Amino acid sequence: GIYLRGNPNPNVTITQSSLYGNLGGDDLYTYAYANSGTFVQLARDNWWGSTDPALIAQRIYDHRNTNSSPRVDWCHYLDAPPPAGVRAEDVHCPELVACDSPVTWDLTDKPYQILTDVWVCPGQTLTVEAGVEARMAKTTPQPDFLIEGTFNVDASAGPPAIFHSDAAPPVAGDWDGVELRGSSVSTIT
C-alpha cells in the first residue's frame, strides 16, 4: 500500500494506478496531517481491485478513521486496471470541502457521487442548484455531510434537487443525511 505521513503535508496526487491487495492492511493510509480537517488528498481515477465502493472505502485510512488524517478524494475510481481507464460510473465528483471559497454544485447532466466526507466550514457556503442529483455511497462508515457554514438549495425555478443513496434502489436509512451543526444557516427550497 501507500503510506502518506504529514507534517508538513505531502503534495501528492495519485492517479491511473492500481492500488489494492495490501496484505498488511490498508491500500492507502494517511496520517498526521496539519489542518487535516480541511485538507483533501487527491486519489481519483485509480483501480482499487473492486468496483464496490464499500469495499474500496474499507481499505482507505482517512478522516473517517481519525481526525488527524485528511479526506481522501477517490471519486472516479476505475472499473479495471490501467490503462483501460473506464470509469465504473459516469458521475461528477464534487468539491468535498468548502473552506477557502464558496462552492456551487450546478451540473445536471449526470449525478454527483459522494464517496467520502463533505464539509462546509463556518463562514463558507455550499450552493446546490435546481436539477442537481447527489448520490451518497453506501459504505461503512457513512460519508459525513456536515454543514457548519451555509447550505443553500434553491430548486424553485426548475426541477427539484435530489439527495439519495447510490444503492439500487435507494431506500430510507441508506445514508445518514445532511447534518446542520453549530451556527449553520441554511435555506432549502
pLDDT 10s per residue in the chain (189 long)? 999 999 888 989 999 999 999 987 899 999 999 989 899 999 999 999 999 999 999 999 999 999 999 999 999 999 888 887 777 888 999 999 999 999 999 999 999 999 999 999 999 999 999 999 999 988 877 889 999 999 999 999 899 999 999 888 888 888 889 999 999 999 999
Q: What is the distance between the alpha carbons of residues 171 and 79, in angstroms, rounded to a whole number?
A: 25
Write the CB contacts of 63 (distance below 8 Å, at least 6 apart in sequence).
36, 37, 69, 70, 71, 72, 116, 117
pLDDT at residue 91, as a whole number? 93
How high is the pLDDT of residue 89?
80
Give the number of C-alpha atoms closer than 13 A to the C-alpha of residue 19, restricted to the C-beta side: 25
User: In this structure, what C-alpha cell is assigned to residue 145?
Assistant: 455531510
pLDDT of residue 139: 83
Residue 140 confidence (pLDDT):
78
Instruction: Give the whole-angstrom CA distance, residue 65 versus residue 112.
Output: 23
Cα angle vertex 140, ends 100, 59, to 5°? 80
Mapping DSSP to helix (H, G, I), strand (E, B) and coil, where does residue 105 land? Answer: strand
Q: Which residues contact 169 (CB under 8 A, 6 or more apart)?
A: none
The pLDDT of residue 115 is 92
Written as one letter, the residue type at 17 is S
Residue 134 bridge partners (DSSP): 112, 163
What are residue 152's DSSP bridge partners? 127, 187
Rg over alpha carbons for the chain, rounded to the nearest Å, is 16
